[in-house]
Amino acid sequence: MGKIVLTSYISHGAPTSLVERTAIHDVYEKLGRILTGRGVDTVIISSPHYFTHGRFEVESREDIPCIQDYYGFPEELYRFSYEVKNSLSLAEQIVHASRERGLEVTTSQAWGLDHGAWLPLYFMFPEKKVRVVPVSMTSADPEEHIRFGEAIKSAAEKVDGTFAVFGTGSPVHRLDLIRYGYYGSDKFEPGAKSDEKLIEVIASGDADKIARLQRDFPSLFHSAAPEGRLNPLYTALGASDMQSFIGKTILHEFMYYGVSLVATMLSAEAGLIDPLFDAMEEESGSGATR
């Protein structure tokens, strides 16, 4: 039946990323080409902007609308849009598999693709030939999001297709410190230290240690104020194949001083990530880390 060839935690950046190109755009585009070449036809995506209270939601409309959920930005940013088709069979299976695990989950036709989801997809799959299943995050603990990810993995195995799972968000999200338009070398140092620990712990491949990040390093976590409390990361982690877990951060950079961007590949089919890493390593000043 179906298979997940990649799980990833990847930042979506600010809406201005639609017109301000940085190194992460190269990751989006190269990763999109690699996934298309591997036959990926459906993406399951968890954005920190799709937040629900008390229960998870799975978008169940066939035509997924674009949500321009940002305000006060330059007019040109509202000319961008991204609408795609859903995979209703997969959405149904995710709900079923989640309920089997005792999770509170329901379908919804009230959301769509917020900028935390459609902005990276806009660059990864510009021809919109991929189906997308948006899933929400909640205020529940990391372990419950991991269980939700496990349900997604189980559901994907029961539906025909080749899938990628993305959790999005910025691990440092200090909007109070933002310097719009700033891409210099100066950055919020406590946040940079938090990112170093995050990258290190993910690279360990220890799922329990990753889930304990905010409990084991509370001061770092508090200083970084990660977007969505990293819950989209935990969902993607739960969907990962731990037998093919690589925990490799392809890129780490700061934008606007107070926000960090990462592209971290959690699990991947053999040989999928090597071409991407090699390509990023060749990019001058790409910020790739290993």
Give pTM, 2 decimals.
0.95
- pLDDT tier, 70 (very low <50, low <70, confident <90, very high otherwise): confident
Q: Over 90: is that where the pLDDT of 122 sits?
A: yes
- pLDDT tier, 181 (very low <50, low <70, confident <90, very high otherwise): confident
Domain spans of the chain, in order of start: 3-282
- The distance from CA 104 to its chain's CA centroid, rounded to whole angstroms, is 22
Looking at domain 3-282, which of 3.40.830.10, 3.90.1300.10, 3.30.70.580, 3.40.50.2300 is its CATH number? Answer: 3.40.830.10
The tens digit of pLDDT for each residue in 23-32 reads: 999 999 999 9
- pLDDT in the model for residue 1: 84
Average the pLDDT over each of 84-88, 228-232, 271-275 and give the range with the smallest value: 271-275
Q: Over 80: is that where the pLDDT of 57 sits?
A: yes
Mean pLDDT of 207-221: 96
- pLDDT in the model for residue 71: 87
- pLDDT tier, 108 (very low <50, low <70, confident <90, very high otherwise): very high
- pLDDT in the model for residue 284: 42
- pLDDT tier, 143 (very low <50, low <70, confident <90, very high otherwise): very high
Q: Over 70: is that where the pLDDT of 279 sits?
A: no
Q: Over 80: is that where the pLDDT of 288 sits?
A: no
Q: Over 70: is that where the pLDDT of 78 sits?
A: yes
- pLDDT tier, 282 (very low <50, low <70, confident <90, very high otherwise): low
- pLDDT tier, 286 (very low <50, low <70, confident <90, very high otherwise): very low
- pLDDT in the model for residue 46: 98
Q: Burial, 12: exposed, middle or buried (Cβ in 10 Å; 0-12, 13-18, 19+)?
A: buried
Mean pLDDT of 192-199: 98
Mean pLDDT of 171-185: 94
- pLDDT tier, 72 (very low <50, low <70, confident <90, very high otherwise): confident
